[in-house]
Amino acid sequence: MGVTREIWVAPAAVQLQEHGPDWLDVVDDKQWSDENGFHRGFCSSFRIRPDRQIWFHFPFQVPAGGSIDQVSLLWETEEGAQVSWACVHHGGMERRHLYEPNAPLNGVPEPFDPPEMWRKFYPAAKRMRADMAVEPAISTRFGFQLCILVDGPGVIRLYGAGLRYTDLIG
């Protein structure tokens, strides 16, 4: 048995499948955010237009020769948006569903209270953490990503994504 660890990517790593004002609206009063959202150091925020769904992809760099048995998401939604599906892709072509589509993702609160001197720079946060089992575990050989589908209208704030990786070689 190898060493198991969590590997996380920052929120700015997220890739949107659809872009532009046909899909996104202005978020956090940044007029230019209707193109690609608003990426900050601590979160990436997006306002999804009514009757739209957008896939968000978190790519991970993981060595070959290991296995992944869990993925995690730090997020929050506002104004009616919901994460309605999650899956993982590996090897470019293989997809594994993490739960049934069209069901809201549940999580547990992951609170954060910024220091008083910086509080004015942070939006109020109601972060959630969801840990989702990857069953059976995926052996790593090619690229790996967590994909979430978000239904609008409303705001999604992404704080990062993670996975549990076991090195089977070392």
Domains and CATH numbers, the chain: 4-167 (2.60.120.260)
Divide the 170 residues of the chain into consecutive groups of 10 and give the mean pLDDT of each group. Answer: 91 96 96 95 95 97 94 97 95 87 94 88 87 95 94 97 89
| Model pLDDT, residue 170 | 61
| Model pLDDT, residue 126 | 92
| Model pLDDT, residue 91 | 81
Q: 98: how many CB neighbours lie within 10 A of its CB?
A: 20
70, 128 contact by CB (below 8 A) = no
| Model pLDDT, residue 169 | 74
| Model pLDDT, residue 2 | 85
112, 10 contact by CB (below 8 A) = no
Would you state the structure tokens that stand for residue 130, as one six-digit string? 């969801």
107, 128 contact by CB (below 8 A) = yes
| Model pLDDT, residue 86 | 96
Q: Which residues contact 31 (CB under 8 A, 6 or more apart)?
A: none
CA-to-CA distance for 167 and 170, rounded, in angstroms?
Answer: 6
Q: Which residues contact 95 (CB under 8 A, 6 or more apart)?
A: 87, 88, 89, 147
| Model pLDDT, residue 122 | 79
